[in-house]
Amino acid sequence: MPPAANSSSGLSRLRRIESSRVFQTLVISIIILSALAIGAKTYELSPLANQTLTVLDFAITLFFLVEILFRFAAFPDKKRFFLDGWNLFDTLVVVGSLIPLENSDAVLLGRLLRVFRVLRLVSVVPELRFLINSLLKAIPRMGYIALLMFIIFYIYAAIGSLFFARVDEVLWGDVAISMLTLFRIATFEDWTDIMYVTMEPYPFSWIFYVTFIFLTAFVFLNMMIGVILEVMSEEQNAKQAQKAHDERDDITRQLHSVQAQLTALSKQISQNSEK
Amino acid sequence: MPPAANSSSGLSRLRRIESSRVFQTLVISIIILSALAIGAKTYELSPLANQTLTVLDFAITLFFLVEILFRFAAFPDKKRFFLDGWNLFDTLVVVGSLIPLENSDAVLLGRLLRVFRVLRLVSVVPELRFLINSLLKAIPRMGYIALLMFIIFYIYAAIGSLFFARVDEVLWGDVAISMLTLFRIATFEDWTDIMYVTMEPYPFSWIFYVTFIFLTAFVFLNMMIGVILEVMSEEQNAKQAQKAHDERDDITRQLHSVQAQLTALSKQISQNSEK
Amino acid sequence: MPPAANSSSGLSRLRRIESSRVFQTLVISIIILSALAIGAKTYELSPLANQTLTVLDFAITLFFLVEILFRFAAFPDKKRFFLDGWNLFDTLVVVGSLIPLENSDAVLLGRLLRVFRVLRLVSVVPELRFLINSLLKAIPRMGYIALLMFIIFYIYAAIGSLFFARVDEVLWGDVAISMLTLFRIATFEDWTDIMYVTMEPYPFSWIFYVTFIFLTAFVFLNMMIGVILEVMSEEQNAKQAQKAHDERDDITRQLHSVQAQLTALSKQISQNSEK
Amino acid sequence: MPPAANSSSGLSRLRRIESSRVFQTLVISIIILSALAIGAKTYELSPLANQTLTVLDFAITLFFLVEILFRFAAFPDKKRFFLDGWNLFDTLVVVGSLIPLENSDAVLLGRLLRVFRVLRLVSVVPELRFLINSLLKAIPRMGYIALLMFIIFYIYAAIGSLFFARVDEVLWGDVAISMLTLFRIATFEDWTDIMYVTMEPYPFSWIFYVTFIFLTAFVFLNMMIGVILEVMSEEQNAKQAQKAHDERDDITRQLHSVQAQLTALSKQISQNSEK
């Protein structure tokens, strides 16, 4: 048996293992275990429990390393492995948690990277992967609306900072902090407290707040409606086109047979007349 | 007359009574009375009123016991009575309020069980039962979105607990309490108060809050749109399929008669030519 | 000329005046003037302005009285005048503000009745009347959902009052005040403050709040989706039925002419064969 | 070459420049630079930076002046230049920032006008211009609903001011301030704090707040549903009309050919019989 065929049959065996239910379930279980370990670390634990968690963390890191190597080995075209966003993400998370970190700041970073392991659940469960992909597809639709929203925020932040900076330095000090304050107002979070303060030097400043709330609510509402309509019309187009086609096909087929019958009839009459 | 037929005719009489308007109205009235009694108990009452309520409670418990036994007796296939979720629920609530409870903790539990009697209204009024069933049907649709939401909450809770635990032990102490805090933030409830505290040691922690709010709002919005679209397309499919069928049928029938006419014509010509 | 015809022509002249643009505009202007007068009274005014307002109020009351009498006179079938909800409402508001009120409590009531004059704008502007009618039509659709919501509120209020009454008498004292507190929680208004207080004696009471918020949000969301779908399918049904009918009619007509041609052909052949 | 042709060819050259990608990108870049300069001014800066910003501001003002003159020169029909809302807006913003302002109040006004330069981004980027136009189109649809909302607010404000003015002068002092308070209640912003205060003299004043919240939420919900349905049915009408037409055309064409065949057949038979 030539080596190429051997390797190919080995690869297909690897892929069979990789896509098997047992392997998938094992990976998901380890990810959930990893998530629980991350959660457990936020509680105050006995030294023994802490040591157990350290060992567990090492074991999980090792498992993930082996798993990603295995998936790489099972991948048919090695060069294109990292072109898939999910593979790249998995590799980065795994490699990231391999780097040994000693000083206290780095420990925080290391633990942060471990948190992202939970996201691997998304890359492993196909339904979640599909969901995320469809959510990502919804983003460009919102592009120009987001830009418009940003312009509205920027203009109001500039105006707010221009007039109210001397009233409340903390909330309206500069354009950046003003945008955060406006985001707070857009969520209706204690916005009247902010308004009552600025209404003392500027009695008409309620116009600023009320128009801002109306504008953002109005633009947001229109964005939502726009997205609903777009998704809906896309789906309907696809579906109705299909259905209309099916229907028409049916009638068209019948009409063709009518025409065929007519042609036959015409021939029949011709033959009759020739006789 | 054989006993079986006798029992069967007795059963059908029971069922006639059970499904009669008078019986239904009586049961609903007693449930509402029971709800009012539960409400009345939350007020401070005179000893006389309290005694009256105790007697009333006893009477209601008795009535519900008799009613459930009656419904059981009227049920054709006794073995499958408890397979229906509503029957099981009714029985549990009735049996639960039968258990005599003396010490103060148990009294609380007994009163809690009596509260659930109000839910029997749902099991008795068919429209509400239908509504609940259709709400329950909507849950699986939201399954994976709920899982995704949980993952987002878990990751943010882990990160929040990792960084902010030493800033505010009460809000970010461990991963569970952090998730509750995040739920609070998702409802916009005084979220800026939480943010301003953590922005002192971590000036860039607003990114944590703003991205979290965007993510949850975005995922929630997409879930809502998804559900609307799904329900809508289901309904439309059913309706349009029906309509399209009707339409096509009509035209098809006419076309068949055209073809029949053509066949008759062909035969007529053949006969002519034979003559 | 007989008196009946005379009265009828007088009536039609009255109706012509009533439905004239000038008359409508006059009534709307007076209502707006009345609204402004009501608003003006909430400010501190000079004695002169107050007197002017009193005179103006008297004049407006008189005008409304004359107007309603005029409308009554112009109405063809006097007996059915009060069967129209809008007429009844207008009459009540006008008659109500006629009653002379002296003591201070009654003055408040009199001013309250004058406020409702603004609502007459709705009864006079046809577009607003149409809008209100269509809003009223939307209510029965929400009937059973509202009942379900009430049951959820009642059960949670009973449970809340049962457990938390001794923690915070003001918020959970009895079942009525508990329902108000729950309504507050449903609007996310400082709900965590309430929760943190009850979490001290009952650490797991967050389950009470989180499940309540989920339930109400879920039921509300489903209600909204339900209403959207219902309205939409109603509209579409009407529209599509019309369109499908038009389409089918067209094709059916053509098919009929094909059949007629065939019948003619058959006759032609018969005649030929007879020759 | 006659001067007219010369001017016309000059104009078309100007327009070619104006609509070129390079020119568009330059204008957008300058607007963004202008926005950044406005933002930078809200920070505390060194004198040097301040001077740089002043020079930059002068340069930007000059650039915008040249640009608007250039656009005016490139416009074919000079008289109709200002009939386009966007051109008028651009001109006003540019001219406004030309006026030299010395005293401190005017400086504020001058800076306010510079803020509106950011809005020029909307007038320059075609996608944003399209978005704004479609948002503006959505406003009339909401006209009567907005009027109804205003009436509801006015009535509740009058009632609130009538009863609660002596309880809390700041929140319910007059009808205008009451409307602002009601807007705050409609956003659920600390509305229970307001309610608890008025519930002391008027224990039933919760009815005022709860009915107001229900009414506004209900009207708002219906408005949203109304807008969704209207936009949707408009789009569908357009699309389905097109599709139905296409479908019918197809079948109709086939039916015509059937009829043509039949006519030919009839002729054929006639000829046969004549032979």
Task: Copy the structure tokens of residue D89.
Answer: 């807006």
Residues contacting A25, CB < 8 A, separation 6+: none
The string of pLDDT tens digits covering residues A206-255 is 999 999 999 998 888 777 777 777 776 676 666 666 665 666 666 777 77
Task: Copy the structure tokens of residue A114.
Answer: 């471990």
The string of pLDDT tens digits covering residues A69-95 is 888 888 878 788 888 888 888 888 888
Question: Minimal Cα–Cα distance from A78 to chain B, Å?
Answer: 30
Nearest CB neighbour to D158, from listed C38, C254, C257: C38
DSSP state of A117: G
Are C205 and C199 a contacting pair, CB within 8 Å?
yes
A116 burial type by CB count under 10 A (0-12 exposed, 13-18 middle, 19+ buried): middle
Percentage of chain C modeled with pLDDT above 90? 18
Q: Does D123 touch chain C (CB under 8 A)?
A: no
Does the beta-carbon distance from D115 to A162 stay under 8 Å? yes
The string of pLDDT tens digits covering residues B191-238 is 999 999 999 999 999 999 999 999 998 888 777 777 777 776 676 666
Nearest CB neighbour to D159, from listed C112, C127, C243: C112
Are B200 and A170 a contacting pair, CB within 8 Å?
no
- Best mutation target, C141, C150, C155, to test chain B (most B CBs within 10 A): C155
Give the alpha-carbon dihedral of A123, A127, A129, A131, to 10 degrees. Answer: -150
C55 burial type by CB count under 10 A (0-12 exposed, 13-18 middle, 19+ buried): exposed
Q: Does D42 touch chain A (CB under 8 A)?
A: yes
Nearest CA to A105 out of D185, B162, D97 is that of B162
Place of tokens 């991350």: A38
Q: What is the pLDDT, as a whole number, of residue A235?
A: 66
Nearest CB neighbour to D162, from listed C112, C132, C138: C112
Nearest CB neighbour to D188, from listed A161, A188, A247: A188
Set out the domains of chain B in order of their start, with CATH numbers.
Answer: 3-124 (1.20.120.350), 130-267 (1.10.287.70)
Residues contacting D255, CB < 8 A, separation 6+: A255, C251, C254, C255, C258
| Pairwise CA distance, residues B60 & D138, whole Å | 57
Are C189 and B184 a contacting pair, CB within 8 Å?
no
Q: Does C229 touch chain B (CB under 8 A)?
A: yes
| Pairwise CA distance, residues A81 & D158, whole Å | 69
| Pairwise CA distance, residues D223 & B112, whole Å | 41
Q: List, as ranges, residues 173-212 from A with C-beta within 8 Å of D.
A: 173-176, 178, 188, 190-192, 206, 210
Does the beta-carbon distance from C268 to D270 stay under 8 Å? yes
> Nearest residue on chain D to A162, judged by CA atoms?
D42
The string of pLDDT tens digits covering residues D200-230 is 999 999 999 999 999 998 888 777 777 777 7
Greater pLDDT, B240 or D28: D28
- A13-18 long-range contacts, Cβ below 8 Å, gap at least 24? A14/A70, A14/A73, A14/A74, A15/A74, A15/A76, A17/A70, A17/A74, A18/A70, A18/A71, A18/A74
Place of tokens 């329902």: C179
Torsions phi, psi for A201 (to 5 deg): -75, -35
Handedness of CA D100, D101, D107, D108 (dihedral sign): negative
Q: What is the pLDDT, as a whole number, of residue C5?
A: 46
Give the alpha-carbon dihedral of C97, C103, C108, C111, to 10 degrees. Answer: 30
CB pairs under 8 A between B and C: 124
Nearest CA to C142 out of C230, C234, C238, C236 is that of C230
Chains touching chain B, criterion 3+ CB pairs below 8 Å: A, C
Nearest CB neighbour to D151, from listed C43, C122, C188: C122
Q: What is the pLDDT, as a whole number, of residue B43?
A: 87
Q: What is the pLDDT, as a whole number, of residue D180?
A: 94
Does the beta-carbon distance from D135 to A219 stay under 8 Å? yes
Q: What is the pLDDT, as a whole number, of residue A123?
A: 82
Handedness of CA C189, C192, C197, C198 (dihedral sign): positive
Instruction: Taking residues D187-212, report their average pLDDT.
Output: 92
| Pairwise CA distance, residues D154 & C119, whole Å | 10
| Pairwise CA distance, residues B89 & B116, whole Å | 10
Does the beta-carbon distance from D163 to C108 stay under 8 Å? yes
Q: Does B231 touch chain C (CB under 8 A)?
A: yes
Nearest CB neighbour to B258, from listed C154, C259, C269: C259
Are A91 and A65 a contacting pair, CB within 8 Å?
no
pLDDT band at D3 (very low <50, low <70, confident <90, very high): very low
Place of tokens 């429209």: B127
Does the beta-carbon distance from A269 to D269 stay under 8 Å? yes
Question: Minimal Cα–Cα distance from B219 to chain C, Å?
Answer: 15
Rounded-to-5 percentages of helix, strand, coil across chain D: 85, 0, 15
Nearest CA to D183 out of A167, C37, A191 is that of A191
Q: Which residues of chain B neighbour C191 with C-beta distances below 8 Å? A: 187, 189
Using CA atoms, how far residue C267 sits from A62, A184, C263, D270, in Å, is: 91, 85, 6, 12
| Pairwise CA distance, residues D43 & A175, whole Å | 8
CB pairs under 8 A between C and D: 124
Chains touching chain D, criterion 3+ CB pairs below 8 Å: A, C
b/e D221-247 (16+ beta carbons within 10 angstroms → b):
bbbbbbbbbebbeeebeeebeeebeeb
Lowest-confidence region among A126-130, A244-248, B270-274, C52-56: A244-248
Q: List, as ranges, residues 45-104 from D with C-beta within 8 Å of A.
A: none
Task: Copy the structure tokens of residue A191.
Answer: 């916005």
Q: Does C265 touch chain D (CB under 8 A)?
A: yes
Are D154 and C121 a contacting pair, CB within 8 Å?
no
- Best mutation target, A141, A154, A185, A216, to test chain D (most D CBs within 10 A): A154
Q: What value does the mean pLDDT of chain C take? A: 81
Nearest CA to D240 out of C250, A222, A243, A246 is that of A243
Does the beta-carbon distance from B258 to A258 stay under 8 Å? yes
